[in-house]
């Protein structure tokens, strides 16, 4: 278990304001979803409204990680729903996964981060590149939320350019272990994680995935404090000081940067859905507020300048909903390219940030308070636009894809 | 223990209500439908009872195919099987008649409904159903325990509580305090794929009522706030402006 003190739901202050969210569906997108997709959506939304909406503001204000949430998300089936049933996962399609991420991020990007790190960055690589023993050992417990996982790629000196990483392992000489050294930074879930999927170089300088477990000597996970963003999600470092890791913890199925990048594709896909969730929550909040707030004798929704903001929000949200649903179909068919996923991640997070900024203005002074979710979404999205490939890096991916010219370096 | 739970499919509580067809029909365009919240409590309590002492829970709905998402959700929450009587639920008498016809052939020990459906708020189906089946009905229960063929229930009454015991079979309707609604999970949703949802055709067509028209309540008027220390002004306004005293 974790070295940090776990906080439970009961310790957070409950707001007594009802969560009135209904999702905007301007182009009747619901007709493209199956009955089961909608059932999953109502499952996650009902859970969020009951368990998280009343305390999410306090979770973020206090910047304390609600550990109860891990078990609850596991019970619901939000960890790795797209992975096979034989490993204790959901066996659902990619649209179901997307919908779950959307409903969670509608609540808070930090909540979605906890789930997407677990499902896409920890369970997915174990599923995709792990041995049968590794899959059976880790996946069912991670799926149920009995264990929390984290994904260590970024280092203090290697963010957008992870290929330059210095974290490394070498043979321990006993034929059974390797010795891991180095440090990872900005790692979601790390302070509470039971297992970490870490990317490190072997003696030949090739990147390999290795599963590090809490309790291994020389392994620590200091928490990163004073974030203004993703405050409901725990972020920390991973420090490896001559950590002796059994050889069987190395993921056998992949070598090179392709390993972590494959996981990032799955997570970025979830973010593309998730970011629209924050945008929809901001829009829904601003629309309702604009109809109720009276200035100069009429609802502010009746002023053209406010209508422009709202109309542009729903236009962008609707475009993103269509784009993302199509991407989901391509994912289900195994045809989505990494570049297509990049485009959606970049587009959707960017529009969500714009929606959040405009929605905040519609609420005037109220927009900066914790009475409404908008400012929290806006601050969260500053992380979302940075992690899993920055806004700029995704543009370069699209640029490379369409021109064939590499503009990274 | 065989329990039947009656489920109605109602507009979500946040729906903005409008009408069509010269104000005789509810306008369902763009409206999201949910399991009637009181029925969801009845379902959850039924599951709690059968989980403790064994048995099955069947969910029944009188409705058209568009009610199936709500019915499928009852299966995801945990009902063993479900029945849909394929007809528009015109009025309470018709619905009770249809459910009674089905229940007669199946011999349920306990039938639970919600205290009312939140769309038309009639609160009639439970009582009518019990009458048609010739069994007792207990309305608006806040708790129910079943032991040795006897149900013990509590109801809120003016200024206190009433404890009722009654031999099975019986019909009881759920009040808010009966239990906490249960949110389905992924495993439940997957299990629901293979649970039986039987569609039964209507028996007879006893339609006894027709809607002549609906009317929305008048829009809420403006509110005047009078400072607490100016009671005379309040009395003056109540006399001369509101004309209520
Ligand atoms: C809250 C949070 C949680 C995170 N969780 C995780 C996690 O769980 N696991 C993990 O491994 N990482 C995680 N990260 C790290 C995240 O992925 C990195 O922050 C991100 O990849 C950017 O790296 P950097 O911060 O080092 O920025 P840098 O790479 O230093 O980038 C700084 C700026 O330079 C720009 N830039 C860089 N290279 C180029 C170029 N070639 N051309 C043009 N512009 C360029 C970038 O776009 C950016 O604007 C998390 C980050 C945050 C903030």
Q: For ligand 1, atom 43, name the residue with the nearest CA.
A: A392
Domain total for chain B? 1
For the Cβ of A392 lying below 6 angstroms from any atom of ligand 1, the answer is yes
From the candidates A86, A133, A388, A405, give the one annotated as an active-site residue. Answer: A388
If residue A246 lies in a helix (H) or strand (E), which one and from where to where? Answer: strand A235-246
Tell me the pLDDT of chain B (245 aa) as tens digits.
999 999 999 998 878 888 999 888 888 887 889 999 999 999 999 999 999 999 999 999 999 999 999 999 999 999 999 999 999 998 999 999 999 999 999 999 999 999 999 888 889 999 999 999 999 999 999 999 999 999 999 999 999 999 999 999 999 999 999 999 999 999 999 999 999 999 999 877 667 778 888 888 888 777 888 888 888 999 998 998 888 88
Is B30 contained in some domain?
A: yes
Could you tell me which residue, B37 or A3, shows the higher pLDDT? Answer: B37
Is B39 contained in some domain?
A: yes
In the beta sheet, which residues pair with residue A165?
A: none
For the Cβ of A408 lying below 6 angstroms from any atom of ligand 1, the answer is yes
Is B229 contained in some domain?
A: no
Q: What is the pLDDT at residue A1?
A: 46
Task: Decide: B213 and B23 in contact? Cβ < 8 Å.
Answer: yes
Is B234 contained in some domain?
A: no
Is B193 contained in some domain?
A: yes
Query: Residue B146 sits in a domain of what CATH number?
Result: 3.40.50.620
Is B61 contained in some domain?
A: yes
- Ligand 1 centroid to Cα of residue A389, in Å, is 6
Task: Decide: B50 and B1 in contact? Cβ < 8 Å.
Answer: yes
Q: For ligand 1, atom 48, name the residue with the nearest CA.
A: A390
Is B7 contained in some domain?
A: yes
Q: Evaluate if pTM is beyond 0.95.
A: no
Across chain A, mean pLDDT equals 96
Within 13 Å and on the Cβ side, how many CA atoms surround A175? Answer: 0
Q: Estimate the share of chain A in helix, then strand, then coil, as percent rounded to the nearest 5.
A: 55, 15, 30
Please tell me if residue B189 touches chain A, with a CB cutoff of 8 Å. yes
pLDDT tops 80 at residue A4? no
Concerning whether A57 is annotated as a catalytic residue, the answer is: no
Could you give the ipTM of this predicted complex? Answer: 0.85
Q: Show which residues on chain A lie within 8 Å of chain B, measured between beta carbons.
A: 20, 22, 25, 35-36, 38-40, 42-43, 46-47, 50, 75-78, 81, 85, 90-92
| Domain hosting residue B20, numbered range | 2-219
Q: What is the pLDDT at residue A385?
A: 98
Residue whose C-alpha is closest to residue B7's, from B80, B62, B64: B62
Residues 115-174 of B with CB under 8 A from A: none
Distance, CA of B171 to CA of B161 (rounded, Å): 19
For the Cβ of A228 lying below 6 angstroms from any atom of ligand 1, the answer is no
Residue A30 backbone zone (phi > 0: left; psi -120 to 50: alpha; other: beta)? alpha
Is B162 contained in some domain?
A: yes
């Amino acid at each position: 278990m974790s070295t940090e003190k776990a906080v439970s739901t009961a310790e957070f202050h409950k707001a007594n304001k009802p969560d009135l969210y209904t999702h905007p569906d301007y182009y009747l997108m619901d007709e493209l979803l199956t009955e089961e997709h909608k059932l999953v959506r109502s499952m996650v939304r009902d859970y969020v409204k009951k368990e998280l909406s009343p305390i999410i503001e306090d979770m973020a204000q206090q910047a304390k990680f609600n550990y109860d949430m891990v078990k609850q998300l596991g019970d619901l089936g939000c960890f790795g729903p797209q992975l096979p049933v034989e490993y204790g996962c959901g066996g659902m399609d990619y649209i179901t996964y997307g919908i779950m991420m959307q409903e969670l991020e509608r609540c808070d990007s930090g909540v979605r981060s906890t789930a997407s790190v677990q499902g896409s960055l920890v369970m997915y690589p174990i599923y995709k590149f792990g041995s049968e023993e590794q899959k059976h050992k880790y996946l069912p417990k991670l799926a149920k939320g009995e264990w929390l996982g984290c994904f260590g790629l970024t280092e203090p000196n290697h963010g957008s350019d992870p290929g330059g990483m210095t974290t490394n392992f070498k043979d321990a000489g006993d034929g059974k272990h390797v010795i891991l050294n180095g440090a990872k930074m900005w790692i979601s879930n790390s302070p509470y994680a039971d297992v970490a999927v870490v990317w490190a170089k072997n003696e030949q300088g090739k990147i390999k995935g290795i599963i590090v477990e809490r309790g291994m000597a020389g392994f620590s996970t200091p928490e990163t404090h004073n974030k203004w963003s993703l405050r409901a999600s725990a972020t920390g470092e991973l420090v490896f000081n001559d950590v002796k890791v059994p050889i069987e913890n190395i993921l056998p199925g992949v070598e090179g940067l392709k390993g972590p990048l494959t996981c990032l594709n799955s997570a970025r896909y979830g973010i593309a859905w998730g970011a629209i969730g924050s945008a929809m929550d901001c829009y829904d909040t601003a629309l309702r507020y604009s109809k109720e707030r009276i200035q100069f004798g009429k609802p502010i929704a009746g002023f053209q300048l406010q209508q422009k903001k709202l109309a542009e929000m729903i236009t962008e949200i609707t475009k993103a909903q269509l784009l993302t649903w199509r991407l989901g179909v391509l994912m289900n068919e195994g045809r989505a390219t990494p570049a297509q996923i990049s485009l959606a991640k970049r587009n959707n997070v960017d529009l969500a940030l714009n929606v959040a900024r405009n929605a905040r203005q519609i609420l005037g002074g109220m927009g900066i308070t914790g009475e409404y979710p908008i400012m929290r979404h806006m601050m969260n999205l500053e992380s979302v636009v940075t992690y899993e490939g920055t806004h700029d890096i995704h543009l370069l991916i699209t640029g490379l894809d369409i021109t064939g010219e590499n503009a990274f370096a | 223990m065989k329990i039947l739970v009656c489920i109605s499919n109602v507009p979500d509580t946040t729906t903005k209500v409008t009408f069509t067809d010269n104000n005789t029909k509810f306008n369902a365009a763009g409206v999201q439908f949910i399991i009637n919240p009181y029925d969801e409590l009845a379902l959850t309590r039924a599951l709690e009872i059968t989980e403790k002492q064994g048995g099955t829970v069947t969910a029944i709905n009188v409705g058209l195919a568009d009610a199936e998402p709500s019915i499928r959700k009852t299966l995801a929450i945990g009902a063993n099987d479900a029945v849909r009587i394929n007809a528009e639920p015109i009025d309470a008498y018709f619905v009770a008649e249809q459910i009674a016809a089905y229940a007669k052939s199946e011999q349920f020990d306990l039938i639970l409904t919600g205290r009312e459906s939140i769309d038309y708020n009639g609160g009639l189906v439970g009582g009518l159903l019990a009458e048609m089946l010739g069994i007792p009905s207990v309305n608006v229960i806040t708790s129910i325990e079943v032991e040795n063929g006897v149900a013990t229930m509590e109801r809120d009454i003016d200024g206190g509580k009433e404890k009722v015991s009654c031999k099975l079979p019986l019909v009881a309707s759920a009040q808010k305090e009966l239990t906490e609604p249960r949110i389905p999970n992924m495993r439940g949703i997957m299990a629901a794929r293979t649970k039986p949802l039987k569609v039964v055709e209507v028996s007879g067509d006893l339609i006894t009522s027709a809607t002549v028209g609906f009317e929305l309540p008048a829009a809420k008027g403006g509110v005047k706030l009078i400072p607490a220390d100016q009671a005379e002004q309040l009395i003056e306004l109540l006399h001369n402006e509101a004309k209520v005293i």
